[in-house]
Amino acid sequence: MVHDVVIIGGGPAGLTAGIYVKRGMLDAILIEKMGMGGQIIVTDLVENFPGFLEISGADLAIKFEQHARKFGLEMKGMLEVNAIEDSGKIKIIKTSEGDIETKSVIIASGTTPKKLGAKGELEFIGRGVSYCATCDGFFFRDKEVVVIGGGDSAITEAIYLTKMAKKVTVVHRRDELRAEKINQEHAFSQPKISFIWDCVLEEIVGKNIVEKVILRNVKTNIISELKTDGVFIYVGLIPNTGFADVKKDEWGFIITNDKMETSVKGIFVAGDCRVTPLRQIVTAVGDGAIAAVSAERYLEGS
């Protein structure tokens, strides 16, 4: 069977694309290597998605999925894509459970948190090192933790950790944050959060679990130690695009035009895995809608 559209990724971009292609009466299937919802399922609080003053990421993900299912979108979870073969009008999706043939593809595969590369980081994953506060914050109740980073992810997760941790120390390599101003205001007004500026993480130290971190001041090169029970790292994102043989930037994000078209006809991209000036739920949703409409027009002309 040859589908009209295969959507790769079950986050906001992919699920929105699914809603639009099914409204266009196309034969479509969405495949996701994990559970539906993408990274928003581990977001504690969403307060910048229009129509919802406050909602948890998990609850919003459920609403996206329910909306897509209402229109009859077929979804397959726990299915990993290894490659896309371009045979002209037919694309072959190579998956962990076999091949899927389709006339068009919408890649909405999102990103994965970047590893910092500090000494001890990999050794202590699951033993004090984490990349998800909402996943692991519970284990640090009444303990002291360090958050590495100064962007929105780092600051919103630091704020979330104050619900459990006794103290949260944000370590940032610059002397000012990159997060949205409203998030900065929340963090600066939170008495449990303190900041260490102009420093980078050199090493994570401990025996069986994290006990302390070694920091280096980027301006003075002075080395310091900080006792901590946990380290949460938010230093960027890696696009999940290794399976896609299309034009990308130097970091692996897929390059598109304003119609979400890639360098390969019939392959479209939406959401965080593409080159974009802003990675938010609302922009992913917009991308998904555009990609779906572009795919539908491509199919009409093919």
pLDDT in tens, 172-212: 999 999 999 999 999 999 999 999 999 999 999 999 999 99
Q: pTM of whole model > 0.85?
A: yes
**pLDDT lower than 70: segments of the chain:** 302
Q: What is the pLDDT of residue 58?
A: 93
Distance of alpha carbon 29 from alpha carbon 16, whole angstroms: 13
At residue 77, what are phi and psi to the nearest 5 degrees? -95, 170
Q: Specify whether 199 is catalytic.
A: no
* Catalytically annotated residue among 27, 59, 86, 132: 132
Q: Which fold has domain 2-112+237-301?
A: FAD/NAD(P)-binding domain (3.50.50)
Q: What is the pLDDT of residue 45?
A: 86
Same CATH topology for 2-112+237-301 and 115-233: the answer is yes
Domain positions in the chain:
2-112+237-301, 115-233
The closest alpha carbon to 133, from 44, 30, 1, 250, belongs to 44
* Catalytically annotated residue among 136, 152, 272, 287: 136
Q: What is the pLDDT of residue 30?
A: 98
SS3 218: coil
**Residues 39-86: tens digit of each pLDDT:** 899 888 898 999 999 999 999 999 999 999 999 999 999 999 999 999
Q: Which fold has domain 115-233?
A: FAD/NAD(P)-binding domain (3.50.50)
| DSSP E strand boundaries for 88-240 | 90-95, 98-107, 111-113, 129-130, 144-148, 167-171, 193-196, 199-206, 210-217, 223-227, 230-233, 237-239
Q: Specify whether 136 is catalytic.
A: yes
Distance of alpha carbon 226 from alpha carbon 211, whole angstroms: 9
Angle at alpha carbon of residue 189, lines to 186 and 192, rounded to 5°: 100
What CA–CA distances, in Å, run from 94 to 60, 245, 263, 271?
Answer: 30, 13, 19, 21
Distance of alpha carbon 82 from alpha carbon 291, whole angstroms: 21
